[in-house]
Homo-oligomer: A and B are copies of this chain.
Amino acid sequence: MQTVAIFGVGLIGGSFALALRRAGFTGEILGVSSSTTITEAIRLGVIDRGASMGEAASRADLIYLAQPIRQILQSIGGLAPHLKAGALVTDAGSTKVEIAGRAKLLLPANSFLGGHPMAGKAVRGVSAAEAGLFEGRTYFLCAPDPSVLEHPVAERLVEYVRKFGAHPVIIGAPEHDRLVSLTSHLPQLASTALASTLSRLLDEDSARNGAGPGLFDMTRLAQSSFELWSDILFTNATSIDLALGLYIEELLRIRKVLNKDEIGSTFERGSNFAAFLRKAKC
């Protein structure tokens, strides 16, 4: 693996480049992004130089697609004709079924391994990139066919993911999309719905006076960029619809037992789950 090309040198793409360097990668890192981003990324030492999509695809051994999902879908089509023999394409998109489907149609057999690092930050852009972003995080890898994991570049990628301090988890694309609809997409919509509900009901004084620390936690995700989330919602609507339905059912159940002793078991289940997560991750 001599040359890596990062498509979309933002928070995730930039952090991947920095993490590669820290883990000992000495080859060339190309960036495919807007000219402003390329200038900034070179200044910050994140990439070596900018390249066109065609040049990057024809030179790189590993192509890392770190754009918003709809741009990843476009990039797969754009880079396909230029792809170097023996190269591997991977991505960092938050949903996997549509991307895997497109890759299967347009890329040579055994040249695509889907990826999704469960890492992020409130701040976006290459200036927020950091080598340690993936540390302690799950790094999902979706192999359309298990044999792609034996691709030499895929083996290197998995090694690097481990060196980043991340936990590679091999998972099927449909299973991935169902899982993150529950653990990531549902929490986002629960937060957005809460903030949106309250914005309709509270004037500024009431909101200011009534807000405690709990409301802050519960509305942090509501600040997320819709530019990223619209792609996630559009490409995982079926699973998210199901997750929302189950959440609404639980809220309806809670509403029915609000001042009955039975609600104690709901609190207990919730509290045990929250405690398990913290024990599991710390």
Contact = CB atoms under 8 A, between A and B. Distances in A.
B138 A254 contact: no
Contacts of A212: 118-120, 137-138, 183-184
Contacts of A270: 191-196, 199, 219, 222
Chain multiplicity (copies): 2
B258 A237 contact: yes
A240 to B, nearest CB: 6
Contact of A244 (B196, B251, B269): B251
Interface string A171-195: 1000000011011101111111111
A226 B196 contact: no
A44 B275 CA distance: 29
A131 interface: no
B201 A274 contact: no
Interface in A208-228: 208-224, 226
Interface string A110-133: 000000001110000000000000
A198 B182 contact: yes
A250 B196 contact: yes
A217 B207 contact: no
Contacts of A220: 214, 217, 274
B234 A259 contact: yes
A152 B79 CA distance: 78
Contacts of A255: 241, 244-245, 248
Contacts of A211: 118, 138, 183, 277, 280-281
A196 B277 contact: no
A214 B182 contact: no
Contact of A277 (B219, B252, B264): B219
Contacts of A240: 258
A25 interface: no
A52 interface: no
Interface string A234-273: 1001001100111110111011001101011011111111
Q: 6 closest Cβ contacts across the A-B interface? A: A183-B210, A195-B270, A199-B273, A222-B270, A226-B267, A219-B274
12 contacts: A179-B206, A182-B198, A189-B251, A193-B266, A196-B266, A197-B246, A198-B273, A200-B246, A207-B277, A211-B277, A214-B221, A216-B278
